[in-house]
Amino acid sequence: MTRKDKKKIYKGVKLIIALVAVLLLISVLGGTVKNNYSEFMKEYKGTEHVAGTDVQVEIPKGASSAKVASILHKAGLIKYEYAFVLRIKGTEYKDKLQPGTFTLNTGMSTLEMIEQLCYVEPTPEPIAKLTVPEGYTIEMIAAKCEEEGIFTAQEFLDEVASGKHGISYTKDHETGDYELQGFLFPATYDIYEDTTPGDLIDKMLAKFEEVYAGLDKSRIAELGYSDYEIITMASIVEREAKLSEERSIIAGVIYNRLNAEMMLQMCPTVLYPLTKGIYDKSEVTYDDLELVSPYNTYNNYGLPIGPICNPGEASIEAVLYPDDNNYLYYHVNEEADDGSHIFSEDYDGHINTQ
C-alpha cells in the first residue's frame, strides 16, 4: 500500500469518526430538546399533582404574571417562566393574581399554583337583617331575635350575661340587671349563616364605640359625670322624648333636678323593672310608683342604678349638650296628641297646666 493510499484511508476514518460524532451530538441535542419541550408543555398544560416540598412565597401587591413567574422560578417551583405566563393568560384567572404570603408545593401543577395564587375568599351574603330601634332594651332585642328566627331570646340573654363581653365604662359602678344595657347600639345589623349571639353582641358594642368615639368626650369632664352616668341619662331621655326637639329640653330637666337634689321621678325608670325590660305597659299607677327597685327614681334619689334602654346618638348628644333652661317638671300634652310635653319651672305651673 502506497503512502498516498494510507492518507486516503486515514482521511476516510477521520470523516467517519466526525460523522459519528455529529450523529451522536444530534441525537443528544434532539433528546434534550425533546425533554425540554416535554417539560415546558407539562408546565404549560399539565394537571398532574405529585409528591413535593412546600415552599413559601411572598407575592407583592400589583405584581404582573411575569413578576410572579420570576418569583416562582427563583423559589424552585417552576422551571419555565414563560409557560406559567402563557398558562395564566389562557385561563379565567388572567389579571386576578392576589398579593400575600402563599405556601405552594413543588409537586403542584402550574394550574394548581395559579388557582391558589388567584383565590379570593368569597364574600358571604347576609341571610337576614336585624334592625334595633333606639330605646330598645336588651330584653326587647332578645325578643326580636326570637321573633325573626335569628336565635332564641334565651340564647341572646345568656350570652349577654356570660361575662365574655365586658366593657370599661362600668368600672367603679354598680350595674343593674345587665352590665351591657345601654351599650348595645341601636342600628341595623347583617346576620349571616354562622352569626352567633356573641358575634352580634360584639358588633353592637363595636358600633357603640365607633359612635361614642366620634362625640366630644371633653364635654363629659366638663359636666362632671362618668361615661356610665351619661349613658344612663341618655337612656332616660330616649324613653321619655317622643319628639326630637324635646330631647335636649328633657336632658336639661334631668340636670336641673339632680342639681337641686330632687328625685328625678321619671316614669320609664319604674316601667323598666316593672315590665322586666319589655315596656309593654305605657302608664304607671300610683301603686306602681312604690315599686322597690334600684331603678325607681320615685323612691330613690339620683340616677337609676344603670341605663334603662340602649340610647341612640341623638339622645347621647342631648345629654352632652342639654338645653339651658330652668324647667323642673313636665307632663304629656294631652291636647296636642303628638307625644309632646308641657314644661314648667315650678310645681304650681306643673299642676296648673294639667
- Angle, alpha carbons 248-306-235 (nearest 5°): 25
pLDDT of 219 strictly over 60: yes
Predicted local confidence at residue 26, as pLDDT: 45
Banded model confidence at residue 348, pLDDT cuts 50, 70, 90? confident
Query: Cell digits for 148?
Result: 325573626
pLDDT at 6: 53
The whole-angstrom separation of Cα 174 and Cα 302 is: 14
Q: Which residues are CB-contacts of 108 (< 8 A; sequence separation ≥ 6)? A: 49, 52, 77, 116
Alpha helix segments (H runs only) across 60-173: 65-74, 81-89, 110-117, 138-147, 153-160
Contact yes or no for 238/309 (Cβ under 8 A): yes
> Between residues 352 and 290, which one has the greater pLDDT?
290
> pLDDT at residue 276 above 90?
yes
Whether the per-residue pLDDT at 3 is higher than 90: the answer is no
Q: Assess contact for 251 and 113: CB atoms under 8 A.
A: no
pLDDT at 269: 97
Q: What is the DSSP string of 113-126?
A: HHHHHT--PPPPPP
Q: What is the pLDDT of residue 192?
A: 95
Contact 239, 308 (CB under 8 A): yes
Q: pLDDT tier at 25 (50, 70, 90 boundaries)?
A: very low
Compute the radius of gyration of the chain from its Cα atoms: 39
- Judged against a pLDDT cut of 50, whether residue 339 lies above it is answered with yes
Pair 73, 110: CB distance under 8 Å: no
pLDDT one-digit tens code per residue, 133-156:
999 999 999 999 999 999 999 999
pLDDT, position 48: 84
Round to whole Å and give the CA distance between 343 and 189.
37
The whole-number average pLDDT for the span 275-303 is 95
Question: How large is the average pLDDT for residues 77-104?
Answer: 90
Give the pLDDT band of residue 11 (cuts 50, 70, 90).
low
In the three-class reduction of DSSP (H, G, I as helix; E, B as strand; rest coil), residue 75 is classed as coil
The more confident residue out of 32 and 220 is: 220
Q: Are 204 and 184 in contact (CB under 8 A)?
A: yes
Which residue bears the cell 409528591? 51
Residue-wise DSSP of 172-219: TS---S-TTTT-S--SEEEE-TT--HHHHHHHHHHHHHHHHHTS-THH
8 has pLDDT over 50: yes
